[in-house]
A = this chain, B = another copy of it.
Amino acid sequence: MTITSGEQRVAKRRARTEKPTEPKPESPGNDWSFWPTYDSASLGFRNYWYPLMWAEQIGDKPVPVTLLGEKIMLIRDGDDIRALHDRCPHRGVPLSLGRRQYEGTISCPYHGWTYKLDSGKMCAALTDGPSSPINNKISVRTYPVEQRLGLVWVYVGDGEAPPVERDIPAELIENDFAVGGRWDIRQGNWRFAAENGFDEGHAKYLHNTALWRLFKVMPAWNETRIVEEDSWLIRVQDAVHWEADFPGLGKWTNKRWYKRMPLPDAPGKAEDINPVIKSLDIPGFVSIRLPGLLRVAYPHFIHYEWYVPVDEDNVRYVQLMVRFEKGLKAAAFKAKYLGAIRWLFHGQFTAQDAWMVDVMDAPPEKLYRPDLSLTAWRRHIEKVAPVAQQDPTVRVIK
């Protein structure tokens, strides 16, 4: 395990020649100071686009949300959706409690300070008349908003926002598809949710009781490697073991007479594979990328989930199931989603994950071999996130 950020390398070099004032952690365990960027990212990373909810859920009535710890109100303004800091600078009343006094504006319910939805400019302090010296002098912060995949995307960052397409997987922009999904606010920090998603080990134990896997065998254990490809970290299985014998305990397997073996673990290995998914040429089943997006690629559909930081203790969990089809096949998928996938996979299966994220209490932690997925993810963040924080148009440093 090597430390990748330049700053840390310098720190280590110095530590060899200078008398250190504070010992640097040399291995993970009791805390996360081994990954200082990650350790301090309890509110997530700025300079990214985040999906929040379905665009059609935003109407004329303001919707308050919390994103990366910031209070934001979303509101519809014709075809556009606007995002404003949800706090009147006057006396701190949430603008999401306000009234739509004039077209294209929101007025604070307290004193009628009226803000343009597009610019955030306070254009009229109604209760001080047109001559009020404060009119047009102050603003609330606005946030870039886009609508894609039926979702509202908000950018929290500094400087110019990059195109939202930078933060959406390319296959979802370049292809037609049918999609089903759901979102909810879950307890626990976003990092635990993301680690749980990319975690190699837990699915084979926690989820082997999931209804979603009732008729499909889960592996007993895998040999795994993490590769980085085009901003994604990908879990590649070098070997999958379906049975294991533990001396003194007995056999460990998920095989049952009524279960069939699953499709290959990497979508590219399947014989029958959707051409779009085939073209992605992903070497593994599960991938993750910043700022917290997981992709689980099956031969015929892909599941995406976003871990959107709300605050230190809550995460917005946005799930999409995508099938790259048109016409009848797309309609059939929509029906299957509503009838089964939504309840089994996006429901009971991922509720098991929510349960673990809620009860988990780390660090301290004691990692094991499959946790290389976690440490790779943390190292990746140490390398990539500090650069992205400085330059919002950069996503990955190779």
B-binding residues in A (CB < 8 A): 87, 89-94, 97, 101-102, 105, 107-114, 123-130, 132-135, 138, 199, 201-202, 204-206, 220-221, 241, 244-250, 252, 356, 359-370
Closest A-B pairs by Cβ, 5 of them: A92-B361, A112-B205, A129-B221, A127-B201, A89-B366
Q: Hey, which chain B residues are within 8 Å of A97, CB to CB?
A: 359
Contact status B245-A130, CB under 8 Å: yes
Residue pairs across A and B with Cβ atoms less than 8 A apart, 20 shown, are: A92-B362, A94-B359, A102-B250, A108-B205, A110-B202, A110-B360, A111-B201, A111-B202, A112-B205, A113-B368, A123-B248, A124-B246, A127-B205, A128-B369, A129-B241, A129-B244, A132-B368, A133-B369, A134-B369, A138-B366
Chain B residue with minimal CB distance to A371?
B90
- The answer, among B110, B134, B356, for a CB contact under 8 Å with A93, is B356
Copies of this protein chain in the complex: 3
Residue from B91, B126, B252, B367 within 8 A of A246 (CB atoms): B126
Q: Is B205 within 8 A of A111, CB to CB?
A: yes
A206 touches B109 (CB 8 A): yes
* Given A205-B110, A252-B124, also A366-B90 (CB < 8 A): yes
Residue in chain B with minimal CB distance to A206: B110
- The answer, among B90, B112, B204, for a CB contact under 8 Å with A127, is B204
**What's the minimum C-beta distance from A191 to chain B, rounded to whole angstroms?**
12
Given A241-B129, A244-B126: A91 in contact with B360 (beta carbons within 8 A): yes
Flag if B361 contacts A87 (CB, 8 Å): yes
What chain B residues lie within 8 Å of A108 (beta carbons)? 205
With both beta carbons as reference points, the residue of chain B lying nearest to A363 in the complex is identified as B92
How far is B127's CA from A124's CA once the two chains are assembled, in angstroms? 63
CB distance from A95 to the nearest CB of B (A): 11
**Which chain B residues lie closer than 8 Å to A202 at the CB level?**
110-111, 127
User: Shortest CB–CB separation between residue A9 and chain B, in angstroms?
Assistant: 28
Residues of chain B with a CB closer than 8 A to A221's CB: 126-129, 132
User: With the chains together, A90 CA to B205 CA distance in Å?
Assistant: 14
| A128–B370 CB distance below 8 A | yes
Question: How far does the alpha carbon of A39 sit from the alpha carbon of B180 in the complex, in Å?
Answer: 53
The distance in angstroms between the C-alpha atoms of A247 and B130, with both chains bound, is: 8
A246–B125 CA distance with the chains assembled, in angstroms: 10
The smallest C-beta distance from A369 to any residue of chain B, in angstroms, reads 5
List of B residues within 8 angstroms of A130 by Cβ: 244-247
Contacts of A368 in B (CB 8 A): 90, 111, 113, 125, 128, 132-134
Q: Is the CB of A123 within 8 A of B249?
A: yes
**Which residues of B are found within 8 Å of A92, using beta-carbon distances?**
360-365
A112 to B87, CA, bound (A): 47
C-alpha spacing A128/B367, complex, angstroms: 12
**Complex interface: chain B residues within 8 A of A110 (CB):** 202, 205-206, 356, 360
A220 CA to B111 CA in the complex, in Å? Answer: 11
Q: Specify which chain B residues have a CB less than 8 angstroms from the CB of A125 in the assembled complex.
A: 201, 368-369
List of B residues within 8 angstroms of A249 by Cβ: 101-102, 105, 114, 123-124
Evaluate contact between A112 and B244: CB separation under 8 angstroms. no
Q: A105-B249, A132-B369 are in contact. List 6 more A-B contacts (CB 8 A).
A: A91-B365, A111-B199, A125-B369, A126-B252, A128-B201, A132-B368
Known: A246-B123, A247-B130, A252-B126. A204 touches B93 (CB 8 A): no
- C-alpha spacing A285/B367, complex, angstroms: 56
Whose C-beta in chain B lies nearest to the C-beta of A248? B123
